[in-house]
Structure 1
Amino acid sequence: MTSIFQIMLLILDVVWFIMILHIIMSWLLSFEVLNRRQPIVDQIWIGLNRLLEPIYGPIRRIMPDTRPLDLAPLVALIAIYALRIIIRNNMYAF
């Protein structure tokens, strides 16, 4: 049972890393450090959006519209962190 919890924590860590990468890349695109006209940058951006839209989409539907500022990644990061805490605290109960 412990290995299942460790696998769940590993998956949450990977999702956390991908979300941080997406957030940093969005900042770099906003400040025009990266350019979406470059094919590799555009492919990475599209891939990250496709990976994370199933997570961000339901959060965006629930949250009020804050048009220039997207708070869905912040809420998702907090939710992942909370899940990690819940899994770690209950891992040894089984």
Structure 2
Amino acid sequence: MKAILDVLYQILNIASWIIIIQAILSWLVMFKVIDTRNSVVASIWGALERLTEPLYRPIRNMLPAMSGLDISPLIVLLIIFFLQQVILRYGYSLAPF
């Protein structure tokens, strides 16, 4: 049981880093530090979009329009951090081994 919790915790950790990297990359694109016409940047951007969009879409559907401000990554990160704390505090204490 603890091995499953370890794997789940690490998946959540990787997902949080992907979201943080995508946020930083979006800022770099927005401030024109890097350009999406570059094939390497475009492929990284596309891969990050395909990974994170399924996480963001349900939250974006629930949130009202906020005039260009997208807080769905922040909400997803808060959910991930909450799940990690649940695993650490309650999952390991309930695990039989």
TM-score by length of 2: 0.93
Once residues 30 and 52 of structure 2 are traced to their aligned partners in structure 1, the CA distance between those partners, rounded to angstroms, is 18
Partner of 2:64: 64
Quick one: distance in 2 between partners of 1:11 and 1:59? 20
Q: In the aligned structure 2, how far is the partner of 1:69 from the partner of 1:58? A: 16
Name stretches of at least 5 consecutive residues in structure 1 with no aligned partner.
none
Q: Which amino acid aligns with 2:24?
A: I
Instruction: Show the counterpart of 1:41.
Output: 41
The equivalent residue for 1:28 is 28
| Aligned AA (2:56) | Y
1:4: which partner in 2?
4
The question of whether the paired residues in 2 share the 8 Å contact of 1:2 and 1:92 is answered with no
Aligned residues with identical type, % of pairs: 36
Gapped regions of structure 2 (runs ≥ 5): none
TM-score (norm 1): 0.96
Offset at residue 5 of structure 1 (A):
0.6
SS in 1 for 2:48: helix
Q: Give 4+ residue runs of structure 1 displaced > 6 Å after superposition.
A: none
Letter in 2 for 1:21: I
Deviation at 1:66, TM superposition (A): 1.0
Residue 92 of structure 1 corresponds to which residue in structure 2? 93
CA contact (8 A) 1:29 1:36 kept: yes
